[in-house]
Each structure stands twice: as C-alpha cells, then as structure tokens.
Amino acid sequence: MSTAQDWRELALRDGDGLQISLLWSESADSVKVSVCDERHGESFDIHVADAQALRAFYHPFAYTPGGGLRAGVARRMSLDLQLQS
C-alpha cells in the first residue's frame, strides 16, 4: 500500500487553470495521473496501467466517465479506470 509521501512526480503540465501530474509509486509499483482544476477546486486521480501512463497524462479526460470534471462531484475522487470508449 502506498502513502501520499510515496508518490514521485515524473511530469507536470499546467494551463488554463488545470494542473496535471504524472506520478509513480515504487512501493505500489504503479502510476497515476492527478488532475486539479484550480478554478473550481476539484481534483481527481486516474490509476492507469504503465503502458497507458503517458497517454493518460496528455489526455486525462479520455480516461474519466463523462469526459471530465462535473459540477457537484466530490472535491477528491480516486478512480481506477481503463480508457472509456
């Protein structure tokens, strides 16, 4: 089980109020993409397979149900998803 301190930032990009980070946990041997909408104070994590990490980093909303942040969602969500069709 990984802790918040265990996640290491591999890449970061931001623009238009969105901050997107690619993170890796050695102890959990997994990667995730963290998306934060600073304008609305909403954020979520997407846990993806290693092979999908960069694709999820550049296109995180393709990996979320409904394709993005929605009004009324919890401030912090953790999603274990595969690419949505």
pLDDT tens digits for range 25-75: 999 999 999 999 998 899 999 999 999 999 999 999 888 766 555 433 433
Domain boundaries along the sequence of the chain: 4-65
Q: How far apart are CA 33 and CA 20, in angstroms?
A: 7
Q: For the chain, what is the total number of helices (H) and then of strands (E)? A: 1, 5
Would you say the pTM of this structure is higher than 0.75? no
